[in-house]
Structure 1
């Protein structure tokens, strides 16, 4: 498969600079770098800004910090703002609490394909390992590492990933913390729906609109791995409303969201 011309790695974050530090360390360890990295910051305090600034001087590629004022959980909005500024043709997306396997970027690029979005596996780092994780600043794991569960997801055997084929149906295994797609496809469906406020469904609803537009999905298995750092669950106050938005997308086969990325595309980077 032909690789995309260029890629942008988007990392979403909110007020957990200790975790973001480990994620950025794992980006520096990548076997293949994206053209740039953009931090999509949903209103963090100055601690996150200081963390990003500390990495910017010695980072292997441009490291851009896109921030807006804290107005509750508005991840859909900050991701649209960040992706609007992305210079890459291909978007690779991870969360600021997900440490990247060294081949994460390379795997997403190797499997990138027109009219397809990818989604990968998430290995869970357990709560009882956090002290050691942050104390040692651990960013390398294997299927045999201490402190993880869902170990089979940590198996790195890239050639086995070839047996996972494209599908036209949405998978419940999809997670926005490990996904990639062409920026042109994201723009074609108008990006994230900014009607989503509070935790939940903004990622899966985007994927559903990809399918409604005619984009297929492919699971990245035995590659493209992230290690999710344990944290307490976010409040789910807005989930009922968010579920209704997603159900409308399913029932009416919605492709274009009215409140999306288009308002930022005319802005200068």
Structure 2
């Protein structure tokens, strides 16, 4: 008998089938299996669908592919659709270029608290490592091993601490990090009811802080964001961002300023129109 779904992992993607294949594989290796995967697909072509269909046949996990037509960067819209397609009361948001360590889902579930959201981070892999990474390094978890990464040419910086396996060290670093706990779409979790209460993502927003804004409305609505960046571990594959543009960033900034100024807890441009 299958255990009830304790979490819905929402993975956003757009035309990166090779990466998505590695990311999905990392969820097949999780220490718990009481979760479902919802792929929030912002208009990818058939090659992404082929990767998802192949994974569905090989995996025991429940996988839902939520797709919309490609009409430019509309991540906020597909994420709202994914929220509504989820079957759990707890949501973990991440991206199709972030490979999860095998305790990723378990740690989000362990650390969840009522009236709180968990704010995680990611460790950026170098371009060289990103290009050569395969399922082998995910299966043996080498891509989360600081020593292995450095030996492969990853720069040796303080950020390697983001891969710590020590719970005590992770707790200390979570407390002392100067980074604010915010809604970062590549590694964040919350109760479904708390994001629905603020009407989900603002669909006017394109790339640049669109995830932060929903978090700001949640904070205005009394949700506390807890820092877990050294506990919920994922590695981010290197890539360019061709969809980045100044006009959408300016527009997003304006919306975020309005949210802060008015202490808004709801958007008219979200799940319910």
TM-score exceeds 0.5: yes
Note the 1:188-227 alignment, pairs <5 A: 188-197=197-206, 199-227=207-235
Partners of 1:255 and 1:173 in 2: CA distance:
15
> Residues 124 and 14 of structure 1: is their aligned pair in 2 closer, same or farther, counting only changes over 3 Å?
same
Map Cα deviations across residues 68-102 of structure 1 (whole Å, 9 max, x no partner): 00011110000000110100000011100000011
Partners of 1:17 and 1:137 in 2: CA distance:
18
Question: Which residue, 246, 260, 270 being the options, matches 1:250?
Answer: 260
- 2:241 alignment partner in structure 1: 233
> Residues 14 and 223 of structure 1: is their aligned pair in 2 closer, same or farther, counting only changes over 3 Å?
same
> 1:7 touches 1:35 (CA, 8 Å); kept in 2?
yes
- 1:142 alignment partner in structure 2: 145
Q: What's the TM-score, normalizing by structure 2?
A: 0.87
- 1:267 alignment partner in structure 2: none
Map Cα deviations across residues 35-88 of structure 1 (whole Å, 9 max, x no partner): 311000000000000000000012122111000000111100000001101000
Partners of 1:84 and 1:153 in 2: CA distance:
32
The alignment's C-alpha RMSD in Å is 1.9
- Describe the SS at the equivalent of 2:39: strand
- Describe the SS at the equivalent of 2:147: coil
- How much does 1:26 deviate? 0.3
- 1:266 alignment partner in structure 2: none
- 2:166 alignment partner in structure 1: 157
Note the 1:102-113 alignment, pairs <5 A: 102-113=102-113
> 2:23 touches 2:98 (CA, 8 Å); kept in 1?
yes
> 2:181 touches 2:227 (CA, 8 Å); kept in 1?
no
> 2:80 touches 2:270 (CA, 8 Å); kept in 1?
yes
- Describe the SS at the equivalent of 1:144: helix
The number of residue pairs the alignment matches comes to 254
- How much does 1:145 deviate? 2.6
Structure richer in helix, relative to its length: 2
Task: Give unpaired runs (5+ residues) of structure 1.
Answer: 264-269
- How much does 1:133 deviate? 1.1
Map Cα deviations across residues 143-197 of structure 1 (whole Å, 9 max, x no partner): 22325452111112224444546xxxx9276521000000000110000011112
> Residues 250 and 33 of structure 1: is their aligned pair in 2 closer, same or farther, counting only changes over 3 Å?
same
Map Cα deviations across residues 191-246 of structure 1 (whole Å, 9 max, x no partner): 0011112x111110011111100000101143211100000124224111111011
Partners of 1:131 and 1:222 in 2: CA distance:
25
> Residues 248 and 30 of structure 1: is their aligned pair in 2 closer, same or farther, counting only changes over 3 Å?
same
Question: Which residue, 174, 178, 194 being the options, matches 1:185?
Answer: 194
> 1:20 touches 1:96 (CA, 8 Å); kept in 2?
yes
- 1:260 alignment partner in structure 2: 270
Q: What's the TM-score, normalizing by structure 1?
A: 0.89
